[in-house]
């Protein structure tokens, strides 16, 4: 057979498998060498076949990992539309629902689609443990003493160096370490608001931020948010005269997965600077991008020091370490004072372990692997949801992070669906958790930072069946 026909034969065979969904979105293709052996052809022939499939956007290559089936060729579920916060209809905050969802954490037999926490299998645990052993002996007091209130110097140095990945020019003196990102955000709110102040948030918005704001007696304006580009700039502009602070998850927003385009970020920083309104920027998913480069945070465009850039290692390295940070700009003194009052110091050991992990390139290496796995998971989930959920299901297409947001048929109440699912040992986050208003009842958030296997696929199938029955 001519070489030309040979590679087409291979490409065609793979294409048929994709169309027949034998190979599904997110699946890894056999390696080039394996295919070579199967068809008894040259390496180049296989490469040419794969190139053709790539040209048709049926598969995609990932550096050092191989070829994967890309977006499904079949029907595509629609994206949810830009949110429309129901301004008049202000319900109570769904505290009970949140507690019910959190309570499922205790039961290890439940499949945790609900939490925004990476599965243990995605964490570099043996390497971190090595780091603990190393650091416990290298630290003068093995981490038993207090550290300066601003936080571990090595870690602050490494975080500021790491900010070069998005063009940041931060120094170690610009960073304050915290007990995770929530702790950073809490301290930011305390530092720049007082009870009765009004603040602007995205909608839907991560319920933890809602809870903090409610607790601090703040009035919350939820703003229309697009599942691709994030908060609507014009809507924000209108409320500027009324707000004392703004809090945004700029990159791979939780729960929408949106990522603000650079132009939007610039514009938002400019608008807020004009009014001297602090921006609390929750950038804890920024390093988990599926595209070619890390999106910059709003902090990049912050010349006046109004952006309080918050991050964490909870999503990328070890949630239980409780290590995050904030680069608080002009509010640094207030933040350090808050930290002193609440906890005096953060535990030094874990900070030193993470600093060590970053210093010698292990963090970078780990993130490359993590991103690959999460992207594959994201595609697998999308394929599974296309297969198992009703056709009118809308689904986000995040380019990073690890949550998917689903919009189901209007009449489906996901808080009720949650009870059914829990009975089947499946937990997810009902949409109502993500707003102060009486909406998103037909939405839900799924965590895709779990270990992908047949069982997980089966649980998504089961969840899809429940949705179908529920209609």
Pairwise CA distance, residues 350 & 352, whole Å: 5
Residues 291, 294, 296: CA angle, nearest 5 degrees? 130
- Measuring CA to CA, which residue among 335, 448, 423, 349 is closest to residue 145? 349
Pairwise CA distance, residues 423 & 420, whole Å: 5
Using a 10 angstrom Cβ sphere, with 0-12 exposed, 13-18 middle and 19 or more buried, the burial of residue 28 is middle
- Measuring CA to CA, which residue among 462, 365, 463 is closest to residue 414? 463
Looking at the Cβ atoms of 19 and 105, the one nearer to a second copy is: 105
**To the nearest whole angstrom, how small is the minimum distance from the Cβ of residue 391 to a second copy?**
36
- Using the rule CB under 8 A, give the single segment among 23-31, 53-61, 131-139, 400-408 that binds a second copy: 131-139
111-112 and 426-427 beta bridge pairing: parallel
Pairwise CA distance, residues 255 & 203, whole Å: 9
Looking at the Cβ atoms of 388 and 434, the one nearer to a second copy is: 434
User: 3-class DSSP state for residue 238?
Assistant: helix
- Using the rule CB under 8 A, give the single segment among 116-124, 224-232, 250-258, 267-275 that binds a second copy: 116-124
Please pick, from the candidates 82, 104, 177, 183, the single residue that binds a second copy as defined by CB under 8 A: 183
Please pick, from the candidates 4, 81, 96, 141, the single residue that binds a second copy as defined by CB under 8 A: 141
- Using the rule CB under 8 A, give the single segment among 138-146, 233-241, 283-291, 295-303 that binds a second copy: 138-146
**To the nearest whole angstrom, how small is the minimum distance from the Cβ of residue 165 to a second copy?**
23
Looking at the Cβ atoms of 4 and 107, the one nearer to a second copy is: 107
The verdict on 347 binding a second copy (CB under 8 A) reads yes
Pairwise CA distance, residues 89 & 50, whole Å: 54
The verdict on 319 binding a second copy (CB under 8 A) reads yes
Please pick, from the candidates 147, 232, 281, 302, the single residue that binds a second copy as defined by CB under 8 A: 147
Looking at the Cβ atoms of 146 and 360, the one nearer to a second copy is: 146
Q: Give the position of tokens 């005269």.
A: 241
Please pick, from the candidates 55, 74, 91, 145, the single residue that binds a second copy as defined by CB under 8 A: 145
Q: What sign for the dihedral angle of Cα 326, 327, 331, 335? A: positive
**To the nearest whole angstrom, how small is the minimum distance from the Cβ of residue 198 to a second copy?**
18
The verdict on 456 binding a second copy (CB under 8 A) reads no
**To the nearest whole angstrom, how small is the minimum distance from the Cβ of residue 133 to a second copy?**
7
Please pick, from the candidates 149, 239, 240, 271, the single residue that binds a second copy as defined by CB under 8 A: 149
Is residue 449 a contact partner of residue 119, using CB atoms and an 8 Å limit?
yes
DSSP characters over 355-395: HHHHHTTHHHHHHHHHHHHHHHHHHHHHHHHHHHS-TT-EE
**Tokens of residue 160, six digits:** 């500021």
The verdict on 125 binding a second copy (CB under 8 A) reads yes
- For a second copy, the binding residues in 326-345 under the rule CB under 8 A are 340-345
The Cβ of residue 47 has, within 10 Å, a number of other Cβ atoms equal to: 14
- The footprint of a second copy on this chain (CB under 8 A) covers a number of residues equal to 50
Pairwise CA distance, residues 150 & 344, whole Å: 10
Pairwise CA distance, residues 337 & 344, whole Å: 9
Please pick, from the candidates 275, 320, 369, 453, the single residue that binds a second copy as defined by CB under 8 A: 320
- For a second copy, the binding residues in 348-387 under the rule CB under 8 A are 348-350
Looking at the Cβ atoms of 215 and 455, the one nearer to a second copy is: 215
The verdict on 402 binding a second copy (CB under 8 A) reads no
Pairwise CA distance, residues 77 & 75, whole Å: 7
**Tokens of residue 444, six digits:** 């839900």
DSSP class of 222: E
Looking at the Cβ atoms of 149 and 420, the one nearer to a second copy is: 149
Compute CA distances 3 → 31, 42, 319, whole Å: 20, 9, 52
In the shown chain, the binding pattern of residues 189 to 218 toward a second copy, with x for contact by CB under 8 A and - for none, equals ------x------------x--xx--x---
Please pick, from the candidates 102, 275, 360, 458, the single residue that binds a second copy as defined by CB under 8 A: 102
Which residues of the shown chain bind a second copy in the complex (CB under 8 A)? 102, 105-106, 117, 120, 123, 125, 128-129, 132-133, 136-137, 140-149, 179-180, 182-183, 186, 195, 208, 211-212, 215, 317-322, 340-350
């Amino acid at each position: 057979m001519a070489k030309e026909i040979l590679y087409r034969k291979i490409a065609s065979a793979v294409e048929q498998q994709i169309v027949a969904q034998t190979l599904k979105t997110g699946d890894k293709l056999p390696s080039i060498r394996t295919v070579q052996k199967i068809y008894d052809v040259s390496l180049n022939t296989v490469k040419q076949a794969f190139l053709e499939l790539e040209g048709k956007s049926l598969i995609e290559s990932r550096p050092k990992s191989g070829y994967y089936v890309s977006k499904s060729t079949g029907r595509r579920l629609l994206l949810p539309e830009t949110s429309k916060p129901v301004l008049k209809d202000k319900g109570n905050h769904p505290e009970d629902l949140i507690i019910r969802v959190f309570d499922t954490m205790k039961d290890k037999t439940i499949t945790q689609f609900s939490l925004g926490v990476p599965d243990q299998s995605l964490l570099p645990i043996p390497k971190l443990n090595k780091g603990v052993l190393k650091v416990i002996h290298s630290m003068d007091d093995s981490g038993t003493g207090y550290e300066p209130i601003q936080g571990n110097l090595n870690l602050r140095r490494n975080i500021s160096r790491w900010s070069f990945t998005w063009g940041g020019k931060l120094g170690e003196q610009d960073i304050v370490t915290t007990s995770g990102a929530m702790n950073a955000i809490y301290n930011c709110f305390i530092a720049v608001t007082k009870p009765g102040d009004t603040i602007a948030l995205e909608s839907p918005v991560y319920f933890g931020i809602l809870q903090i704001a409610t607790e601090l007696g703040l009035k919350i304006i939820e703003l229309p948010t697009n599942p691709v580009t994030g908060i609507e700039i014009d809507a924000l502009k209108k409320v500027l005269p009324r707000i004392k602070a703004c809090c945004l998850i700029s990159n791979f927003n939780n729960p929408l997965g949106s990522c603000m385009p650079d132009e939007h970020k610039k514009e938002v920083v400019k608008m807020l600077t004009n009014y001297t309104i602090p921006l609390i920027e929750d950038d804890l998913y920024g390093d988990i991008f599926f595209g070619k480069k890390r999106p910059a945070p709003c902090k990049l465009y912050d010349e006046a020091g109004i952006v309080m850039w918050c991050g964490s290692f909870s999503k990328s390295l070890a949630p239980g370490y409780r290590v995050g940070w904030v680069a608080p700009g002009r509010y640094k003194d207030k933040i350090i004072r808050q930290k002193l009052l609440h906890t005096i110091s953060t535990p030094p050991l874990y900070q030193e372990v993470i600093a060590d992990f970053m210093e010698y390139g292990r963090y970078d290496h780990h993130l490359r692997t993590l991103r690959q796995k999460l992207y594959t998971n994201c595609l697998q989930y999308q394929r599974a949801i296309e297969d198992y959920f009703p056709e009118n299901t809308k689904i986000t297409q995040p380019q990073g992070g690890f949550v998917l947001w689903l919009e189901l048929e209007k009449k489906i109440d996901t808080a009720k669906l949650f009870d059914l699912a829990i009975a089947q040992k499946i937990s997810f986050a009902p949409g109502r958790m993500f707003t102060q208003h009486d909406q998103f009842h037909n939405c839900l958030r799924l965590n895709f930072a779990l270990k992908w296997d047949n069982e997980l696929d089966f649980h998504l199938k089961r969840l899809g069946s429940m949705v179908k029955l529920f209609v």
